[in-house]
Structure 1
Amino acid sequence: MSRLVRLVGLAVLLLWPAISFAQDFPNHPIRFIVPFPAGGPADVISRVVTEKMSSLLGQPVVIENRGGAGGLVGINSVAKSTPDGYTIAIAPSSQLAMNVTLRDDMPFHPMKDLALLTQIVSVPEILVVNPTVPAKTLAELVALAKAQPGKLTFASTGPGGMPHMATELLKHTAGMDIVHAPYTGAAPAVNDLLGGHVQMMFADVPVLMGSIKAGTLRALAIGSTQRIAILPDIPTTAELGMPKVEADNWYGLVAPVATPKPVLDKIYAAATEALHSPEVKDKLAGQGVIAVGNSTADFRAYVQREIDRWGELIKATGIKIK
């Protein structure tokens, strides 16, 4: 019995610093890394969520935009930061799933070097074309591309991001020969699409919604399993006979993997309460963004499935980021 008491006492002593630290957490502002420039979808989503998190945690959750390499710079900085809960981030699907296979020089592994707390949102991708393209349906676009191999060019927000990989998935599934034109973000890509310099692209709903409603871009399909309320007339790729072309973009909440669990639990509780709150859900839904806030176990399982799913496409097509 005395040996058991000593072991329990030792365990309490070892755990006490983390417990004590967590009880005091947070006692100063938390940095929330957005690995993209201000004004983009990740930034807008983050500002809605962190405003609510700040009120729940009793300390400011301060956004810091740290762009570069499609989000790699910002998320790598979080993986390498002090694991005290005061540096967390919104991580895109590209950095948590696609880049695991796309990059041979990936500086971190999301399943090993990051605490994957919860999925923040799901953002449907919409396939659009410039109105001068003689295709009013997905089937007509595929037929046009096959009739003119190598003639159509698709824009993306950068190599390895969801807009790029969604179109690669369509290209592979439909057997199309189209040319990739990578840009350094959504704004220049959409500008060139509007100007007719490229013919088509997949992108997040918030990026394209204004142009679709203005009639300056023609929407052909949503790369999701369900239609969205703010654009109810646009069919899904599944409805149009391509269920394998499922390309919802998504973002997750992450922290350094060695962050004490009691601290992670506090961050998780604040994030999920924010994401389940009516005001946050409504603000995001108005932009075509779906709040999630699932369990950590479910999110980890989802990330692994996405690593595997996109890894199959990447290996089949030979795509790499150098």
Structure 2
Amino acid sequence: MQRRHLMALALTMAAGTSFADGYPTKPIRLVVPFAPGGTTDIIARVISDPLGKTLGQPVIVDNKGGGGGLIGATETARSAPDGYSLGVATVSTTAANPAINTKTPYNPITDFTPIINIAATPNIIAVNPSFPAKDYAGFIAELKKNPGKYSYGSSGTGGIGHMLMELYKSLTGTFVTHIPYRGAGPALNDVVAGQVPIIFDNLPSALPFVKAGKLVPIVVSAPTRLKELPNVPTFKEVGLEPVNRLAYYGILGPKGMPKDMVDKLNEATRKSLEDPAVRKRIEDTGSIIVANTPEQFAQQIKAEFEVYKEVVKKQKLTLD
């Protein structure tokens, strides 16, 4: 199937026709590699409708959760490079998970075509209101006093929440049991319900629960304190700068996508992000609009992958 698509693309090139001419002529599938309800899903659904209107064809969000994002990302990597099957790129799927998982069925640098980084988001450690501590000093004291007593939820094994929490544990000498989920949405549901006391999550999916008083914010990864959470310190403030990393949410496709098609998708996404209503919906989650070039996004993915490979090596992290 893929070979036929590639042959068709080669014939088009030989004929001197632009790949982007007339594209798209049918709906585009946008794979979200996590269950509904998490930040990846939120960002995808905010951008999909305006992007579809800009392109003139619907952009349909398709959730394919599992494996810390690997299942959905693998599906994108194995798709035909015809522009009709794209995926949402996250730090989990293009850096953290491949860095720790030696059995990742794709290479995050060579098996995708980066298109655009939509937004960068802070990350957060939050707890159920029943947790004994309500601020960072109390949180770290409680963990040190009771090693092994508590557990934390994340979007999945090898995801950014898992990796950053394991890095946090190694830097602070604490021990908390990891409970992986098929996405941040299910993890948040259990932490809010009190089944699991702690979560390390991206801010956009956790923030509504924080605002509703269903989660207590403890510490965030962000350049400075957030206007939405002015009383919550950053990891840098508490002496843990290595954990103070933002997450990215972008669009990519399988390797081999024609450059003019990539440029058309990039331009359409940037145009969609110029809409004040779309920008507001994304910024209201605590995210920062990026909207960069395909080349810049490719450099970001490569840089983040190198960072997490070093984290895995230095901290001797494994999936076992």
Q: TM-score, normalised by structure 1?
A: 0.88
Residue 302 of structure 2 is matched in structure 1 by: 304
Return the letter of the residue paired with 2:308.
Answer: W
Residue 55 of structure 1 deviates from its aligned partner by: 1.9
What is the alpha-carbon distance in structure 2 between the residues aligned to residue 247 and residue 46 of structure 1?
21
Look up the match of 2:253.
255
Which of 217, 220, 238 is equivalent to 1:219?
217
The corresponding residue for 1:3 is: none
Residue 58 of structure 1, aligned match among 51, 56, 59? 56
Q: Distance in 1 between matches of 2:95 and 2:259?
A: 24
Decide whether aligned partners of structure 1 residues 63 and 185 sit closer, same or farther in structure 2, where only a CA change above 3 A counts.
closer
Letter in 2 for 1:249: A
Distance 1:217 1:63, change over 3 A: closer
Match of residue 317, structure 2, among 316, 319, 322: 319
Question: CA, structure 1 residues 116+22, in 2 after alignment: closer, same or farther (shift >3 Å)?
Answer: same
Q: Return the alpha-carbon distance in structure 2 between the equivalents of residues 20 and 183 of structure 1.
A: 43
* CA pair 38-24 structure 1, distance change in 2 beyond 3 A: same
Once residues 283 and 72 of structure 2 are traced to their aligned partners in structure 1, the CA distance between those partners, rounded to angstroms, is 26
Q: Are 1:47 and 2:45 counterparts?
A: yes
Q: Indicate whether 1:180 and 2:178 are aligned.
A: yes
1:165 to 163, 183, 187: 163
Matches within 5 A, 1:34-183: 34-183=32-181
| Distance verdict in 2 for CA 1:15–1:236, change over 3 Å | same
Q: Which runs of 5+ in 1 are unaligned?
A: 1-12
* Alignment partners' CA distance in 2, 1:50 and 1:18: 31
Shift of 1:98: 1.2
1:22 aligns with 2:27: no
Alignment RMSD (CA, Å): 2.2
Q: Is the contact between residue 70 and residue 161 of structure 1 (CA under 8 Å) also seen in structure 2?
A: yes
* Structure 2 CA distance for partners of 1:199 and 1:120, relative to 1, 3 Å: same
| 1:146 shift after superposition | 2.0
- In structure 1, give the amino acid aligned to 2:48: T
Displacement of 1:195: 4.2
Q: Secondary structure at the match of 2:86?
A: strand
Q: Is the 8 A contact 1:276 1:292 kept in 2?
A: no
| C-alpha displacement of 1:178 | 2.2
Matched-pair contact (CA < 8 Å) for 2:35–2:64:
yes
Partner of 1:266: 264
Asked whether 1:287 is paired with 2:289, we answer: no
Amino acid in the other structure paired with 2:235: T
Aligned-pair CA distance for 1:159:
0.8
2:240 alignment partner, SS class: coil
Question: What is the CA distance between 1:40 and its match in structure 2?
Answer: 3.2
The structure with more radius of gyration: 1
Between 1:131-140 and 1:96-105, the stretch displaced more is 131-140
Unaligned runs of at least 5 residues, structure 2: 1-10
Q: Distance in 1 between matches of 2:283 and 2:68?
A: 25
The answer to whether the 8 Å contact 1:122/1:292 transfers is yes
Please state how far the C-alpha of 1:16 moved relative to its aligned partner.
Answer: 4.8
Residues 99-128 of structure 1: CA deviation (Å, up to 9, x unaligned): 222111111112101001221221211111
Q: Deviations over 1:78-113 (max 9, x none)?
A: 211111112111122111001222111111112101
The alpha-carbon deviation at position 14 of structure 1 amounts to: 8.2
CA distance in 2, matches of 1:254, 1:126: 25
Q: Write the letter of the residue equivalent to 1:118.
A: I
**d(CA) in 2 for partners of 1:56 and 1:210?**
29
**CA contact 2:125–2:198 (8 Å) conserved in 1:** yes
SS at match of 1:20: coil
Distance 2:193 2:203 in 1: 19
Q: Distance in 1 between matches of 2:34 and 2:289?
A: 20
CA contact (8 A) 1:18 1:260 kept: no
The CA deviation string for residues 139-162 of structure 1, in whole angstroms up to 9 with x for no partner, is 332232222222222222221112
How many residues were matched structurally?
Answer: 310
